[in-house]
Structure 1
Amino acid sequence: MKEKTIDYILRATWQAVSRMYNEEASKYGASMSVGFALLSIDKDNGIPSTALGPQMGMEPTSLTRTLKSMEEKGLIVRKKNPVDGRGVLIHLTKLGKEKRELSRDRVLKFNDVIRQHVPQEKLDNFIEVAELINDLIAEKLIFTADSETEKATNK
């Protein structure tokens, strides 16, 4: 059998996790992105709309669709930012706070089941490797060497 690449393993695992959360969320008329947004919004103070996208790692168009859907379902309200009148704060409604707790419970359940099946040492190693991969990507150390070599070769 061929060895699977690291990116394949990451992608396949994330797709499985995403599918699992979407199946669970669909039972409540929601989606994984709605659940993630609920968890990303401060339940007491709300969050500036401009900070939510970067925090969630979502593109503005996807975030706009998600927020519109959440507003239509009565999960959030948009209010003027009292500090900066040009900005908007996203606040959870009472229903939004209830659904946030449901989302939180599902995430904690996922974590509990994984922790029951994976020894702490292996989890620590997994987290360390994932953080290292993120650092390498953030520091643009994956393809930078190739780009520099290509530039030098093409001169």
Structure 2
Amino acid sequence: MEKPSADDASSLAAYKVTRAMGAITNAGGMDALNASRGEMGVLGCLVQHDREATPSQLMDALGVSSARVANTLKALERKGYVVRQTNPEDGRGVIVRITPAGEAFGEANFQSAVRGVSSLLAPLSAEEQLELARLVERIAEPLVK
């Protein structure tokens, strides 16, 4: 994509943020996690939902298809990070629960990500870091359910 002109401030800002986020994502090395972003997303959602959720709740929270959730759950189950059990309320549905191993894995990788972001923020002053955090939270607020 061609860089927008300075006359179109919104497009230029979006262009710059997209390029910067791409560089940050590439520098983060998701491969080192031994988990996909989807797997980390599911583990994070389960922790936020009192350690259990239905596949539909995960689908809605992550904004992905039921097939994507099903494939991600299969991978996490093979790794021992989640278990799927029959929903005791209706006997037909499924409840997904994070295992202690899944919780430990997710927490370790979250802390690793925090350390990585902390080093990325190092060139900014403390005041700039807090301002960036405020702006990112403002952008993410409507996305967080």
Please give the alpha-carbon distance, in whole angstroms, between the structure 1 residues aligned to 2:103 and 2:138: 34
CA RMSD of aligned residues (A): 3.2
Deviates more, 1:34-43 or 1:98-107: 34-43
Matched, 1:64 2:40: no
Which residue of structure 2 aligns with residue 36 of structure 1?
A: 41
SS in 1 for 2:83: strand
Deviates more, 1:26-35 or 1:73-82: 26-35
Q: CA deviation at 1:78?
A: 0.8
TM-score (norm 1): 0.64
Matched, 1:110 2:111: no
Is residue 39–residue 103 contact of structure 1 (8 Å, CA) maintained in 2?
no
The structure with the largest alpha-carbon Rg is 1
1:78-97 deviation per Cα after TM superposition (whole angstroms, max 9, x unaligned): 11223343432211223212
TM-score (norm 2): 0.68
SS in 1 for 2:47: coil
Structure 1 residue runs of 5 or longer lacking an equivalent are 139-155
Seq. identity, %: 21
Which residue of structure 1 aligns with residue 105 of structure 2?
A: 99
List structure 1 segments (4+ residues) > 6 angstroms apart after TM superposition: none
CA separation of 1:17/1:48 partners in 2, compared to 1, >3 Å: closer, same or farther? farther
Structure 2 residue runs of 5 or longer lacking an equivalent are none
Please give the alpha-carbon distance, in whole angstroms, between the structure 2 residues aligned to 1:15 and 1:60: 27
Task: Kindly provide the amino acid, as one letter, of the partner of residue 40 in structure 2.
Answer: G
1:73 to 61, 79, 95: 79
Task: Kindly provide the amino acid, as one letter, of the partner of residue 103 in structure 2.
Answer: K
Q: CA deviation at 1:50?
A: 1.4
Task: Kindly provide the amino acid, as one letter, of the partner of residue 20 in structure 2.
Answer: T
Please give the alpha-carbon distance, in whole angstroms, between the structure 2 residues aligned to 1:35 and 1:134: 18
Pairing of 1:6-155 with structure 2 (within 5 A): 6-21=13-28, 23=29, 25-42=30-47, 45-130=51-136
Task: Kindly provide the amino acid, as one letter, of the partner of residue 27 in structure 1.
Answer: A
Is residue 59–residue 66 contact of structure 2 (8 Å, CA) maintained in 1?
yes
Is residue 38–residue 103 contact of structure 1 (8 Å, CA) maintained in 2?
no
- The total of aligned residue pairs comes to 135
